[in-house]
Structure 1
């Protein structure tokens, strides 16, 4: 056996996790964590809604032309092809610079509210969350984006806006911190 390379060797290779044959399957990337938790028997909720959080830095003015006429959903008139003023995007999107963050979305749990994977959310931490606001919440040291539902004085829960995802009702011992309120969604419509 000295000098032998390649081929199978007793005791070499990956050790099986299961005492039966396995099969590779394709699953949506947004559901991988949920499936892993199911397979490992973890009964603790895990969230995978937030990919990144970045503090905004509006160090420069970014003005873009603002058309003076509103655009109908149909074909616009060529006669209305002029610009009346400009719009500063920082001023438009950011009300409190020190408390505003951009959060990149990592799941489809809010799809029916128009929020999808890789969308960027403008989140203001200085706003007090109200019933039905879309919020970034911290549960068990993990971030999630959901709609805040407030029923009475003591019943607060988080609603997913996609029937494939579960709503979040706190279990005994769990605490929820509302980290910030979503004020805008930045969504690319053109594939890069």
Structure 2
């Protein structure tokens, strides 16, 4: 496990559980639907959330700079280091000794890290920065 003031990283451990039960009829968030008969199957979150096992990590968000992108304090991020960084993707970056999660903005060979909260400044990456795009966020897991 690696820790910074902005993110806490975890390596995924292989699951020994066959999966939890998935109710495949859908759950209405509007008007109730008749339950009737529903089919059960098992679902593995590892299979749903991890496409590249050897390059996937989890990290907990610390802070509020990405709240308008739906990333809140203590949310668990699924990060794939094998994915290519692209404009508008949400990325975990290492900037000048600290990890941060921001939206990538890439234009005319320039890179900015854009927060999704107007209370935080946009970070322009220059040659003076120690900068690495560490991985791309593929999913977020929330507690309710």
Q: Same fold (TM over 0.5)?
A: yes
Q: Aligned match of 1:75 in 13, 31, 55?
A: 31
Alignment RMSD (CA, Å) = 1.8
Which runs of 5 or more residues in structure 2 are unaligned?
none
Q: Aligned match of 2:116 in 140, 153, 161?
A: 161
Q: Aligned match of 2:55 in 96, 99, 113?
A: 99
CA distance in 1, matches of 2:60, 2:90: 14
Structure (1/2) with the larger helix percentage? 1
CA distance in 2, matches of 1:139, 1:156: 12
2:18–2:42 Cα contact (<8 Å) kept: no
Q: Equivalences for 1:107-118 in 2 at 5 Å? A: 107-118=63-74
Runs (4+) of structure 1 exceeding 6 A deviation are none
Kindly tell me the number of residue pairs found equivalent between the two proteins. Answer: 141
2:81–2:135 Cα contact (<8 Å) kept: yes
User: How has the CA–CA distance of structure 1 residues 62 and 113 changed in structure 2, closer, same or farther, with 3 Å as cutoff?
Assistant: farther
Q: Aligned match of 2:6 in 49, 56, 62?
A: 49
Which structure has the larger Rg?
Answer: 1
User: How has the CA–CA distance of structure 1 residues 88 and 172 changed in structure 2, closer, same or farther, with 3 Å as cutoff?
Assistant: closer
- TM-score (norm. length: structure 2): 0.88
Q: Secondary structure at the match of 1:82?
A: coil
Structure (1/2) with the larger strand percentage? 2
